[in-house]
Structure 1
């Protein structure tokens, strides 16, 4: 199925919150999910990242975005950053969130076997390539994200409605 970038970002953000991730990391994960799926990434990498809120790329990779922005000023247009094992699949998508124009983002290995992200930037180019008008996402991925997102919803009860949850009487014509 195809979805708008906003639909995917919001659903992924809510899913990350439902899985137990902090709000800021969940928000960045939503944006990175759009980049990841637009680039043809496999859904399993997203599901794996959501599986463990104590040890996940969702917690580590927002720092990569900050590292990229600092490194461009220091190292120039070609940057190589070491990744944590397990972060390889999502790292290029997170890198594209940096406020620098990335022309190439590839994952490789260092001489000692650690994963690395190799980037090329071009200051004379626009910051990012435009996203496609619609993002393809598989039904199983959307279903799993929806299940996790549902954990953030307020349960329907008289006490929750009296506290302001749901539509009011005048909203239900």
Structure 2
């Protein structure tokens, strides 16, 4: 199935909210999901990231953006940062969210076996958008995101309507 980048970002963000993640982390996950899928990343990595709202790359990787920017001011254009195990599948997608030009980035392992991200970036050059207009997404991932997103919906009831949910009486034909 083919979707626009905005459609996937919005659906992934809603799925993250439905899975129990805070709003800002969900928003960044939505944007990173687009980068991940556009880069040919496996959809299963997105499912795994949403599996545990208390221990997930969705919580840790937004901090990676800040760490990269801080490290660039200290070390120059090449930065190496250690990642938490399990974060390597989405780390490159989150580097796509940094608002500077990243010349290259790779994931490898340190001597102690931990995953690490190494990248070269130009902090004085803004990022150039590199996303395709449409992204092919497996139907299973769309269905899973939709199921998680449905957890954010308010159940229809008289009380919810009285509080303003749904269409008003004037909106119903």
**Short-chain TM bin:** over 0.9
CA distance in 1, matches of 2:122, 2:64: 18
Residue 69 of structure 1: CA displacement? 1.1
Residue 21 of structure 1: CA displacement? 0.8
CA distance in 1, matches of 2:75, 2:167: 53
SS in 2 for 1:62: helix
Residue 130 of structure 1: CA displacement? 2.4
What's the counterpart of residue 72 of structure 1?
A: 72
SS in 2 for 1:51: coil
Contact 2:105 2:119 in 1 (8 A): yes
Count of matched residue pairs? 173
Alignment of 1:144-155 (within 5 A): 144-155=144-155
When residues 25 and 123 of structure 1 are mapped into structure 2, their CA distance, relative to the original with a 3 A threshold, is closer
Residue 123 of structure 1: CA displacement? 5.0
CA distance in 1, matches of 2:172, 2:35: 37
Residue 129 of structure 1: CA displacement? 3.5
What's the counterpart of residue 43 of structure 1?
A: 43
TM-score by length of 1: 0.95
Say yes or no: does 1:100 pair with 2:100: yes
CA distance in 1, matches of 2:24, 2:72: 24
With 121-130 and 51-60 compared, the bigger mean Cα shift is at 121-130
What's the counterpart of residue 27 of structure 1?
A: 27
Residue 6 of structure 1: CA displacement? 1.1
Cα RMSD (Å):
1.3
CA distance in 1, matches of 2:135, 2:16: 19
TM-score by length of 2: 0.95
